[in-house]
Structure 1
């Protein structure tokens, strides 16, 4: 069975260029009817201010579409950035994809 949670997996550095790709992917998924999105940051090693802005922009797009956005596999460095910028209050985060699916799909 196909999961109702659509997963986006950016890689490397999340900056202005890759952040635009992320926003485009979020927009395409929302346009195609997705109502639960998960950004898996397992392969993201660094996020700059533009990348952080892209995540916030993606969250706003999802909220406007009455959908839900989750984040998982956050490295210690990225978690520290989220806490310093208080972005950790914006995103519901999970350990990994399985943790997200287990908790979100059993409570939906």
Structure 2
């Protein structure tokens, strides 16, 4: 599930379904996944668009929760919105109650 290439592909597929025709959105996510964070000033270069278009893309991804930032002008990092957890991490979560086994018997130590 945490294979970077596979996660990038699942993000690209999900964003393609949610925002058809916005092919540059997955580039912003992929860059942020690979580098941990991205300054907002790098977004136009990563996306290959002008400043205004990059700011709009960042705003869209931030509002949807796909990117996160601690401050309005600070760097962005990847977010994992819970509404899309099954698309991003298929079969990682289950709706069934977990089965927790009883702890094993630990033999007593003679002192």
Superposition TM-score tier, normalisation by shorter sequence: under 0.3
Higher RCO (CA < 8 A, seq sep 6+)? 1
- More strand per residue: 1 or 2? 1
**TM-score of the aligned structures, taking structure 2 as reference length:** 0.27
